[in-house]
Structure 1
Amino acid sequence: MADLSAVEICAGAGGQSLGLELAGFGHAVAVELDENAANTLKTNREQWDVRHGDVADEGVWNPKEFLDVDLLAGGVPCPPFSIAGKQLGATDERDLFAWAVELAGRMQPRAVLLENVRGLSMPRFSAYRQHVKDRLRELGYWSDWKLLHASDYGVPQLRPRFVLVALRDEDAQWFEWPEETPYQGTVGTALFDLMAADGWLGAEAWRRKANDVAPTIVGGSKKHGGADLGPTRAKAAWRALGVDAMGVADTPPNEKHPVDFMPKLTTEMVARIQGWGPDPEYDWQFTGRKTTKYRQIGNAFPPPVARAVGTSIADALNRQGQPKESSKVENEVMHDRLYLALKSASTPLTERDLVKLAGEKINSVTFERRMAALARDFVIDEDDQLEGRAYQLVGFKGFIGQEQHERHARFAEHRSRIS
């Protein structure tokens, strides 16, 4: 029986859900927009309270009914930060990262776990990260970000994920990021039994050729076509491993296929690469047709990685291990000093004043580029003065729960294509 409780938002098909369960968290509720993914959750855990719909709609679930849970967790949508997308950040109707931080303020969980794509760790979003970290501190949470690679936690693919963990000050001193347990095999060793299941005579030769971990599985979104294993560079990496990445197969190759045949992966194989199976405790069933299953699997947080991070959080909440000294707990990483300078100013400041206050040596070209990036996520007033143009931070463009925010109209317009 789990001794800790969790609310999971944007739960997907259950990668994070299963990992957290194995780490000792029982689900008070799991909320998911995609109907097929919600059905997958219900199929695997009939006893869970699974809600289907927009997580920001209190008609779907009411956060007030789940106050003071141990953990608020979620894999909030990735497209706002994806390198493969437009990186719209706060102005993307799918962005729920800042909203999830405000949700933590309303619910007051002991800990928060949010994961997203590597793109959120890039310089483009340094001010966004600073905003999140500052807001969490205002709400009473210590926080830290870390880029984790799935292959470092027993999963046979690279899959970098940018993970945020936040805890109350009294629990933060007990938190340690999980130790790495690198995957010891290859795509070939991970999938050999599945690739040979229908009698393909080339399976052994294929196993030897598939001699590295997999590139990142790309689930994609409803805005794009059917299932394939990623962009051009990823397809080339799969080809080097002996895999045809131009789609997903219904069945593995059989005795009628030539020995030198280049197979496609089945959804079962993709799930294995993502961290489901072969160990029975990672067994999971996916609902829907092939492409639907593939998207559920490909968009998931690998269960072993979620389990590793979840275990570290559970250990902190249960006061396991040795607490750190207070001086070692404080994380004073500054993600964007120019944003901090803008935020601290009560009156408009010129470029010269802002650069001096930020303590950075940057030229005017770099300054303009940085300000343009800031203006994508924040409202910045500009005023021409005798000393030059002056800037003042007015607000954050992102959705944090406002009833009249334009996110609602855009979300309603594009809902059928949001995933």
Structure 2
Amino acid sequence: MFDDKNNLNAVEICAGAGGQAIGLHHAGFSHSLAVELDSHAAQTLRDNTNWQVAEGDVADQAVWNPADYKGIDLLAGGVPCPPFSMAGKQLGSSDERDLFAWAVEQVDVVRPRALLLENVRGLASNRFSAYRQRVLDRLSEFGYVADWRILHSADYGVPQLRPRFVLIAMSPEDAVYFNWPEPQRSTTTVGTLLRDLMAENGWPHAEEWADLAAGIGPTLVGGSKKHGGADLGPSRAKLAWSKLAVDGRGVADSAPGPDAPHPSVLPPKLTIPMVARLQGWTDVHAWKFAGRKTAQYRQIGNAFPPPVAEALGRQIKAALLHEGLAHDLPELASDLHDPIYRTLSNANGFVSMEKLQAALVELSQASVEKRLAVLARDFDVEIKTSVNGTSYRLGEFKGFTGQADHDRHLYMSKHKSRIS
């Protein structure tokens, strides 16, 4: 049972089964509150910690009131990934599950000393350049310095590819002490990590299997309540697992027994303890997952690996305690993500095509029109045509930021049981 006695306090939204929370705990943060929608994941948190757990829609003030936690040291979370996933439609703000923009708005309510949000690598794509720019601009308006970075789990001792796109924001006086964690690539492979678990039921070929599994695994995919059961991901992931002598078409109830064939004949499936260890849970955590096998696997596969969260948490803590040498703000000052969005958002009215072309290095009308089409997926874009040409004005952001009349409320009321 985790017993938080650390000096810095955190509130975590969309906490899942506690992967990020464990890492932050080991980095020196106590959880004042963890908020989670999924009933199994919420029960996992209750079963393993003494934290206060609020179960339900994180954007529902009946579940928790962000204003009650004003001045917390860290606001953290892993908001839903499907709106940005390259495996999906990348609907962004048009996806009713998108909570990233909402989470950013809570910064102005909670006023945490630091913000940590993580998501899939798809959020780093050109498709979401304007979305990212809006996030950075909003945080700047709130008085925070922010930046994004892709971190690879394999750089922090987790033998998975698993890239995560991480947003960090702090007040300027703390940001000058923040440094991104340095990669600590290890030689740990799937085989070396899981050899003992594969051998626990007397399988005589565990050592040979470990030699065949001498590599880094693909990203574990937890899936959703709507799609998929307990398997290791789409076809491409299953093929990658097969090259490591792992059958990715399901999750086993137990490790191979003494009569199980050689892995070259029948590759073994992973078990729940194995996928948990691959995700960064260790025996030290003694973590028990609530629910049946599919629910347990979904919790693990959707988690942020504890070692990556710990590496980030240690750097955030050091910054908040002003440890080390202060540096210039560019460490957390992001480059411009979308010049078209910035030009339109800074304008008082319509902007001509000529001015928009000047904002791009390509100086191509076709390039501007392409950017505008992408921009219109997340924002209302007004178009005005006159004898002087075509001009554009940026309208409202389409995403959910807490609006009482947003379509998300109807979606949640109809589909809450299927959302994870």
- TM-score normalised to structure 2 length: 0.96
Structure 2 residue aligned with 1:369: 370
SS at match of 1:257: coil
Structure 2 residue aligned with 1:354: 356
Matches within 5 A, 1:221-232: 221-232=224-235
**Percent of residue pairs identical:** 56
Are 1:44 and 2:48 counterparts?
yes
Partners of 1:377 and 1:270 in 2: CA distance: 36
| Aligned partner of 2:244 among 237, 241, 259 | 241
Q: Residue 146 of structure 2 contacts residue 334 of structure 2 at CA under 8 Å; is this kept in 1?
A: no
**C-alpha displacement of 1:404:** 1.2
Partners of 2:242 and 2:121 in 1: CA distance: 24
How many residue pairs align between the two structures?
414
Structure 2 residue aligned with 1:185: 188
SS at match of 1:7: strand
Are 1:381 and 2:378 counterparts?
no
Partners of 1:225 and 1:236 in 2: CA distance: 17
Structure 2 residue aligned with 1:139: 142
Structure 1 residue aligned with 2:31: 27
Structure 2 residue aligned with 1:263: 268
Q: Go from structure 1 to structure 2 and tell me whether the alpha carbon gap of 1:165 and 1:363 turns closer, same or farther (over 3 Å shift).
A: same
Structure 2 residue aligned with 1:73: 76
Partners of 1:225 and 1:332 in 2: CA distance: 37
**C-alpha displacement of 1:97:** 0.6
Are 1:401 and 2:412 counterparts?
no
Q: Residue 79 of structure 2 contacts residue 118 of structure 2 at CA under 8 Å; is this kept in 1?
A: yes
**C-alpha displacement of 1:168:** 0.7
Structure 1 residue aligned with 2:418: 417
Q: Go from structure 1 to structure 2 and tell me whether the alpha carbon gap of 1:41 and 1:142 turns closer, same or farther (over 3 Å shift).
A: same
Partners of 2:311 and 2:286 in 1: CA distance: 17
Partners of 1:81 and 1:178 in 2: CA distance: 24
Partners of 1:38 and 1:359 in 2: CA distance: 47
Cα RMSD between the aligned structures?
Answer: 1.2
**C-alpha displacement of 1:90:** 0.7
Q: Residue 356 of structure 2 contacts residue 368 of structure 2 at CA under 8 Å; is this kept in 1?
A: no
Equivalent position amino acid for 1:119 in 2: G
**C-alpha displacement of 1:353:** 2.1
Equivalent position amino acid for 2:40 in 1: N
| Aligned partner of 1:277 among 268, 277, 282 | 282
**C-alpha displacement of 1:283:** 3.1
Once structures 1 and 2 are overlaid, which stretch shifts more, 163-172 or 282-291?
282-291
**C-alpha displacement of 1:350:** 2.7
Structure 1 residue aligned with 2:391: 390
Once structures 1 and 2 are overlaid, which stretch shifts more, 5-14 or 179-188?
179-188
Equivalent position amino acid for 1:128 in 2: Y
SS at match of 2:394: strand
**C-alpha displacement of 1:201:** 1.3
Are 1:150 and 2:153 counterparts?
yes
**C-alpha displacement of 1:362:** 4.1
**C-alpha displacement of 1:158:** 1.1
Structure 2 residue aligned with 1:198: 201
Runs of 5+ unmatched residues, structure 2: none
Structure 1 residue aligned with 2:62: 59
**C-alpha displacement of 1:359:** 3.9
- TM-score normalised to structure 1 length: 0.97
**C-alpha displacement of 1:387:** 2.5
Q: Residue 357 of structure 2 contacts residue 365 of structure 2 at CA under 8 Å; is this kept in 1?
A: no
CA offsets 1:143-201 (integer angstroms, 9 cap, x no match): 11000000001111110000000001110000000111113221000000000110111
Are 1:341 and 2:343 counterparts?
yes
| Aligned partner of 2:303 among 297, 300, 304 | 300
**C-alpha displacement of 1:11:** 0.3
Q: Residue 200 of structure 1 contacts residue 259 of structure 1 at CA under 8 Å; is this kept in 2?
A: no
Structure 2 residue aligned with 1:13: 17
**C-alpha displacement of 1:211:** 0.9
Structure 2 residue aligned with 1:291: 294
Are 1:105 and 2:75 counterparts?
no
Partners of 2:119 and 2:181 in 1: CA distance: 18
